[in-house]
Amino acid sequence: MDPLTVYLGLGSNLGRREDNLRRAIELLRRYVRPRRTSSVYETAPWGFDRQPHFLNCIVEVTATIAPRQLLSAVKSIEREMGRRPGLRYGPRLVDVDILLYGDQTVESSDLQIPHPRLHQRAFVLVPLAELAPQLSHPALTMTVAQLADGVAGKDGVKMWGNPLL
């Protein structure tokens, strides 16, 4: 398989949040080649408000594995780091989402690429626009910058720290 540029969203709101993001990036090296990250942002929780704020960042990687293999890899990383099944959108040590996989689209019961709520999430679009503002969303035919400009909730996304790579 030819190498593709893939964008992953990382989040953590339990424990040592920045360390959790760093550890997830290190574990990703087993499966893909991390190239760069956005800055780290502190963000209000999405979907379930009664929990600590998250640290979020976007990781740009080069992948030579299929989307389903990458999904298995990120779920394995989440488990290895201690994530357990729980409340949907609830607190977690780490969350790794596949946001964009080159210009591919995938529609199955357990994997949708582009991420189906990417265009609704300021905590994803703000850091993604930092990395790749002119990147086009394959299904919406809008750039990441355009999506970020129009997304609700940007006031809950605050710069927290420097890029991790």
Cα gap 73→61, rounded to integer Å: 13
Question: Is 49 considered catalytic here?
Answer: no
Q: Which two tokens stand for residue 66?
A: 């299929």
Question: Is 35 considered catalytic here?
Answer: no
Q: Which of 24, 58, 57 is nearest to 41 (CA)?
A: 57
Question: Of residues 23, 97, 110, 149, which has the active-site annotation?
Answer: 97
Question: Is 97 considered catalytic here?
Answer: yes
Q: Which residues pair with 41 in a beta bridge?
A: 56, 159
User: Sign of torsion, CA 103 30 122 67?
Assistant: positive
Question: Is 121 considered catalytic here?
Answer: no
Question: Of residues 16, 23, 35, 83, which has the active-site annotation?
Answer: 83
HSE, side-chain direction, 13 A CA sphere, residue 48: 11
Question: Of residues 22, 23, 88, 92, which has the active-site annotation?
Answer: 92
Question: Of residues 22, 36, 84, 95, which has the active-site annotation?
Answer: 95
Cα gap 90→46, rounded to integer Å: 9
Active site residues: 83, 92, 95, 97
